[in-house]
């Protein structure tokens, strides 16, 4: 019989990167990209987080594509990735499962999940009254970049074993 810890590390599903966005400065709108350079220890090139000192546990934010229709239903409005201020939208894999694991996006990039990405007051502005509450449990995760490289929309997202490169 497998332990709970073993079951939590076993994520056989593979997802795909569905959307990429960066915000060049605080308050600026998200800029949609089809490719992005991830910088180990910093964030995505062109994103305000990457321009900082580095070392943050929130170098990249991810949200699950399957949650967008849920958020639309809860807010009564069309919900698009730029509204949610997350860098990456991932489809086909449960992001909560990745919150404390090492995972790869494409052939080059390795991320380490650092926890939940809690909603902030800006969700009320973006989604209207109730936006903050709608995002609770649907805000995605944060991650740090262990190994940088190029991200491409369509890249496969997969969990890595503990001894993976």
**Domain positions in the chain:** 35-159
- pTM over 0.75? The answer is yes
| Selected residue with higher pLDDT from 135 and 19 | 19
Q: In what order do the strands lie in the sheet with 43-44?
A: 43-44, 35-39, 149-152
Q: What percent of the chain has pLDDT over 90?
A: 67
How sure is the predictor about 57, in pLDDT bands with cuts at 50, 70 and 90?
A: confident
Q: Is 163 in contact with 25 (CB distance < 8 Å)?
A: no
Residue-level pLDDT at 165: 43
Burial class for 116, CB neighbours closer than 10 Å (0-12, 13-18, 19+): middle
Query: Is the Cβ–Cβ distance between 111 and 60 less than 8 Å?
Result: yes
Q: Provide the pLDDT confidence category of residue 102 given band limits of 50, 70 and 90.
A: very high
Q: Look at the alpha carbons of 113, 116, 118, 123 in this order and tell me if their dihedral is positive or negative.
A: positive
The domain over range 35-159 is classified in CATH as 2.40.33.20: yes
**Average pLDDT of span 22-32:** 92
């Amino acid at each position: 019989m497998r332990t709970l810890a073993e079951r939590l590390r076993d994520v056989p599903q593979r997802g795909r990167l569905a959307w990429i966005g960066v915000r060049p400065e605080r308050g600026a709108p998200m800029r949609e990209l089809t490719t992005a350079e991830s910088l180990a220890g910093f964030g995505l090139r062109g994103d305000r987080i990457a321009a900082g000192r580095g070392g943050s546990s929130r170098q990249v934010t991810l949200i699950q594509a399957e949650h967008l229709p849920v958020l639309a239903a809860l807010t009564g409005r069309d919900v698009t990735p730029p509204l949610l201020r997350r860098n990456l939208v991932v489809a086909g894999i449960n992001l909560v499962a990745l919150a404390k694991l090492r995972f790869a996006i494409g052939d080059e990039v390795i991320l380490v999940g650092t926890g939940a990405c809690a909603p902030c007051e800006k969700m009320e502005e973006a989604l209207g009254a109730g936006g903050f509450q709608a995002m609770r449990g649907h805000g995605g995760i944060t991650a740090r970049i262990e190994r940088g490289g190029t991200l491409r929309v369509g890249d496969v997202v997969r969990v890595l074993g503990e001894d993976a490169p």
